[in-house]
Amino acid sequence: MRHILGELASELIALRFLGYRTLTALQKGQIPGPESALAKITTVNAAIKATDLIADVLGPDALDEESEWAYAISFLPGLKSAGGTEEILRNTIGERVLGLPPEPRLDKGIPFSELRAKEREAVTQ
């Protein structure tokens, strides 16, 4: 349990400084970069870890209708897909922050009206 609490504390401290970085960029008139994607991923994952820890401590009573934690425990996992799935956000971070090459895309440069025909061609080859 101490290990999980330590991880949560370190993630929250990192989020604080990431927020400072975003605020500094805004004060300088800059548009915040893909750090926001990292903040979203970290925030949601930390919240899920925290509610999982609460559920472990409270046991089955945590999901009781009258529990103040039941809603958070059941609602937070759904936030992983809100605002973009974690995989898409991680790709954004990889490409824009780490400078990794983008994932190969078969649809790049093809008008949407021609996309289905190109997909059929790719399957038959």
What digits encode the pLDDT tens for the residues 56-66? 998 988 888 88
Question: Residue 117's pLDDT is what?
Answer: 73
pLDDT of residue 20: 92
At 83 the pLDDT is: 64
Single-letter amino acid, residue 26: L
Q: What is the pLDDT of residue 86?
A: 79
Ranges under pLDDT 70 in the chain: 83-84, 106, 118-119, 125
Question: Which domains does the chain show, CATH number per domain?
Answer: 2-124 (1.20.140.10)
Q: Where are the alpha helices (DSSP H) in 1-125?
A: 2-27, 35-58, 70-75, 86-96, 112-124
Task: Give pTM, 2 decimals.
Answer: 0.66
Structure letter (DSSP) for residue 121 = H
